[in-house]
Chain A
Amino acid sequence: MSDTQKDPWARFRTATRARIALGRSGDALPTKALLEFQLAHARARDAVHSAVDFDRLAADLSPRETIRVHSAAPDRPTYLRRPDLGRRLDPASAAGLPAGQWDLLFVIADGLSAAAVQVNAAPLVHACVARLGHLRIGPVVLAEQARVALGDEVASAMGARLVALLVGERPGLSAAESLGVYLTWEPKPGRADSERNCISNIHADGLSIQTAADKLCWLATEAARLKLTGVALKEDAPSLPGPDNQKNQLTDRS
């Protein structure tokens, strides 16, 4: 018997991660498929609700200096309900930021996946620093209960021309550890999403750390040359696989 005769779905399974051909118990899911789904959902929820171990992350980033900040959202339930608070620093954090003159600042935000940040953030920073040794790169800022726009406030206070904000992306069932990066030229509060460049889907089964670092460094170099980020930078680089084409989709915003 050929494989196709044994499993007529074989060639389709290799073409998609979708949960096809699960079988049926009556009209319902078989027990195995039911539990596989519940495990994937549990992992996604754990990724959203568990906290990043920032001490460990700081150690992983060594020898780079790190600074810890917290958003104005005191806890995870507030963070989920109030995106506006996740985009601002709490007053104590804002007061403690050292001013400087930096070409590039990395800000690591927990976002919606602690696992993504724990696993992928430090290797990506190291890979980028290795490629951008000629730049003045500031201390790495570790931001708790933080969304993308928080990087604008941090970077403008610290005197950075360019900020790369690494953030845990909203987990799906098949990718709970996906990291995104948002690059913003002349960051300041009030920057629109259209003024950023995004690299998303950085995880073991998606974009590799090395490929992501290559893309990020290319973008950072171009941003410094053109003195901008956002839509205009993308248009000049049509071959760059921008992750976010304009989608006709009602969606939440980070």
Chain B
Amino acid sequence: MAGYHCDLGRQRHRFDDLKAVMACASPRRSGDELAGIAADSDERRVAARVVLADLPLKTFLTEVLVPYETDEVTRLIIDRHDADAFRPVAHMTVGQFRDWLLSYQADTAALAALAPGLTPEMVAAVSKLMRNHDLVSVAAKCSVVTRFRTTVGLPGRLSSRLQPNHPTDDPTGIAASTLDGLLYGIGDAVIGINPATDNVPACIALLEMLDAVRTRFDIPVQSCVLAHVTTTMQAMERGAPVDLVFQSIAGTEKANAGFGVTLSLLAEAQEAAKSLKRGTIGDNVMYFETGQGSALSADAHFGVDQQTVETRAYAVARAFDPLLVNTVVGFIGPEYLYDAKQITRAGLEDHFCAKLLGVPMGCDACYTNHAEADQDDMDVLMTMLATAGVNFLIAVPGADDVMLNYQSLSYHDVLGLRHLLKRPPAPEFEAWLEKAGWLDEQRRLPPWPDQSLVVSALLGSAA
């Protein structure tokens, strides 16, 4: 293999292969250092970017980073590449592609038409040449709209997942967090529980409870219990009210095997959920979570940097027309994203890369207690993501997930962003809020006193 090099003054920086160029071009992050593939100096990082800027985009179609023969994700990427869609940018280098993406020519329609022509590696490469604001402004031009009972991803709107987790899956505890969230207008993307116990009867009990809340109040939302895909498939066989099928996914066949999934299993689950025909305005039935570091933690990254492997997971996601995808950006731990600077950057990269590929990206803006981050940092990330047009944000009561022991956004945060940036929830959900009489004359959702009819009607009938 010829390798790549770049002369900067007296120093010649050599890179053995394209994987090394990609890894060294990434902004500094602990996961790539842990894997031993990060640039060992700031100059080398820029040298790799200089190489990348001059690299023809089409190189990624012939020089794959994970072998085609042994990885079904690579085969998916190459076999489904749309050469016609790629044509408008086929002659460009990665650097020229960045300039074009930022230009006025790259408008919403042009970017939507281009998406099937882009591969994850192309998108990851160009992201490495972008500043945070570039990632925001290009992502803001992308529109990926999906439907089930609500429409998620429309321009000018901000949806949210209500995450009412409980350490023992206690039904009253979960109902408490759910009803609290509804009073902030949370949940129009999904009401989704991470179950403490992943088995079929427990999953069915939670699904039935969420469905009862939804039908009792006639709320246009979809629900999800984030059990393993095989658990959800068995729940469907037993007639459970499954709206969305959830699964964690990653960017290589081996990493997906670590999650206990293959592409064919996901296809089977998608077909089963679509056959239930529970969506009223659309049939996007899948919900995926991803996150930088998951492939390395499964020893399944093949020397590819964590941001590029992460982007490959979006090729998996888009093959199944999901309603929702989100990166769990700060959740996986400081050995992959050390501090708020790395978490912020990764959240913006993940959102940008997914949107360019046509994936309906949301985000769990979050951190663990051993990372160098706090709620001030989440304020910055959530505001940048909302400005970038993120499809949805995850929110939990008071930003404290008492089951998974980490911090996300609070219901307050999402409501405040909606009012500040004038981005209401999904139109069907907003209409429900209006019909219920919850909005004020400025179409805000105000704080309703505990003694108000709004609160007593909601809590009283949830007995």
A interface with B by C-beta (< 8 Å): 5, 7-9, 11-13, 15-24, 26-29, 33, 37, 40-41, 44-45, 47-48, 80-84, 112, 170-175, 245-253
Contact B176 A16 (CB under 8 A): yes
Within 8 A of A (CB), among B402-439: 402, 404-407, 410, 412, 415-416, 419-420
Chain B neighbourhood of A37, CB < 8 A: 375, 398-400
Contact assessment for A18 and B416 in the assembled complex, using a CB-CB cutoff below 8 Å:
no
State in angstroms the CA–CA spacing of A23 and B198 once bound together: 33
Q: Which of B352-371 contact A (CB under 8 A)?
A: 368-370
B412 contact set on A, CB distance < 8 A: 22, 24, 27-29
Residues of A within 8 A of B173 (CB): 12, 15-16, 18
| A15-B173, A173-B407 known; A250 vs B248 contact (CB < 8 Å) | yes
A37-B398, A171-B369 given; name 10 further pairs at CB < 8 Å: A11-B172, A12-B179, A18-B397, A19-B397, A27-B412, A29-B410, A81-B34, A172-B401, A249-B404, A253-B297
Query: Cβ of A19 and Cβ of B447 under 8 Å apart?
Result: no
A59 to B414, CA, bound (A): 50
Nearest B-chain residue to A246, judged by Cβ: B198
> Could you say which of B75-83, B315-323, B332-340 contacts chain A?
B332-340
The answer to whether B335 touches A250, judged by C-beta atoms less than 8 angstroms apart, is no
- The closest CB in chain B to the CB of A22 belongs to B398
The reply to whether A81 and B164 form a contact with Cβ atoms under 8 Å apart is no
Bound CA–CA A20/B213 (angstroms): 18
Interface CB pairs A-B, < 8 A, 19: A9-B176, A9-B450, A12-B180, A13-B176, A16-B170, A16-B176, A16-B402, A17-B402, A21-B450, A22-B397, A27-B419, A41-B407, A83-B34, A170-B368, A171-B405, A174-B402, A249-B226, A250-B289, A252-B332
> Of the candidates B297, B374, B398, which one forms a contact with A19 in the assembled complex, judged by CB atoms under 8 Å apart?
B398
For residue B262, give the distance in angstroms from its CB to the closest CB of chain A: 15
In this assembly, does B199 line the interface, its C-beta being within 8 Å of a C-beta of chain A? Answer: yes
State whether the Cβ of B460 lies closer than 8 Å to any Cβ in chain A: yes
Q: Judging by beta carbons under 8 Å apart, are B180 and A15 in contact?
A: no
Chain A residues within 8 Å of B451, by CB: 5, 8
Residue-wise interface mask of B (157-171) relative to A, using a CB-CB cutoff of 8 A (1 in contact, 0 not) = 000000011110010
Please give me the residue from chain A that is nearest to B446 by CB atom: A24
Is B456 engaged at the interface, CB distance under 8 Å to the other chain? yes
Chain B residue nearest in CB terms to A253: B297
A191 to chain B, nearest CB (A): 15
What is the CB-to-nearest-CB distance from B422 to chain A, in angstroms, rounded to a whole number? Answer: 13
In whole angstroms, what is the CA distance A8 to B228 when docked?
A: 35
In the complex, the answer to whether B375 meets A23 with C-beta atoms within 8 Å is: no
A18 engages B166 (CB within 8 Å)? yes
Measured CB to CB, the nearest residue on chain B to A254 is B333
Please tell me if B194 contacts chain A, counting CB pairs below 8 Å. Answer: yes
Q: Report the minimum CB–CB distance from A104 to chain B (whole Å).
A: 29
B259 contacts A248, CB within 8 Å? yes
A18 CB contact (under 8 Å) in B369, B398, B447: B398
Please count how many residues in chain B sit with their CB below 8 Å of the partner chain's CB atoms.
73
Q: Which residues of B contact A252 (CB under 8 A)?
A: 293, 297, 331-333, 335-336, 368
Interface residues of B (CB under 8 A from A): 30, 33-34, 164-167, 170, 172-177, 179-180, 194, 197-199, 226-229, 231, 246-248, 259-260, 289-291, 293-294, 297, 328, 331-336, 338, 368-370, 374-375, 396-402, 404-407, 410, 412, 415-416, 419-420, 447, 450-451, 455-456, 459-460
> Within the complex, what minimum Cβ distance (angstroms) separates B232 from chain A?
9
CB distance from A43 to the nearest CB of B (A): 9
B167 surroundings in chain A (CB, below 8 A) = 17
State which of B260, B369, B404 has its C-beta within 8 Å of the C-beta of A45: B369
Taking a contact as CB atoms under 8 Å apart, the answer to whether B30 and A48 are in contact is no
Contact of B328 among A21, A45, A81, A250 (CB under 8 A): A250
Top 9 A-B residue pairs of the complex, sorted by shortest distance between their CB atoms = A19-B398, A172-B405, A252-B333, A16-B173, A12-B176, A27-B416, A15-B172, A44-B369, A24-B447
With both beta carbons as reference points, the residue of chain B lying nearest to A11 in the complex is identified as B172
Give chain B nearest CB distance to A14 CB in angstroms.
8
B247 near A16 with CB under 8 A, answer no
Select which of A48, A170, A248 is within 8 A of B198 by beta carbon: A248
Nearest CB of A to B199, in Å: 7
Task: Determine whether the beta carbon of A170 is less than 8 Å from that of B369.
Answer: yes
CB contacts (< 8 Å) of A26 on chain B: these are: 416, 447
Q: In the bound complex, how far is the Cα of B335 from the Cα of A84, in angstroms?
A: 10
Chain B: CB-nearest residue to A81: B30
Q: Which chain A residues lie closer than 8 Å to B447 at the CB level?
A: 23-24, 26
| Contact among A12, A29, A172, A250 with B331 in the assembled complex (CB-CB below 8 Å) | A250
CA distance A174 to B369 in the complex (A): 12
Q: Chain B residue with minimal CB distance to A206? A: B167
Residue contact A251 to B170, C-beta cutoff 8 Å: no
* Complex-state Cα separation, A37 to B402, whole angstroms: 13
Residues of chain B within 8 A of A33, CB atoms compared? 398
Q: Taking CB as reference atom, which chain A residue is nearest B338?
A: A81
The distance in angstroms between the C-alpha atoms of A208 and B172, with both chains bound, is: 24
Q: A15-B176, A173-B407, A248-B247 are in contact. Are A7 and B335 (CB under 8 A)?
A: no
Q: Would you call B164 and A18 a contact (CB within 8 A)?
A: yes
Contact among A20, A23, A29 for B177, CB-based, below 8 A:
A20
Query: For A17, what are the chain B residues with a Cβ–Cβ distance below 8 Å?
Result: 167, 402
Closest CB in chain B relative to A217 CB, distance in Å: 25
Min CB–CB distance A49 → chain B (angstroms):
9
List B contacts of A19 (CB < 8 A): 397-400, 410
Q: Which chain A positions have C-beta within 8 A of B248? A: 248-250
- CB–CB B369/A245 < 8 A: no
Asked if B176 contacts A175 (CB within 8 A), the reply is no
Known: A173-B407, A246-B228, A250-B331. A80 touches B370 (CB 8 A): yes
A11, A37, A82 interface centre (most CB from chain B within 10 Å): A37
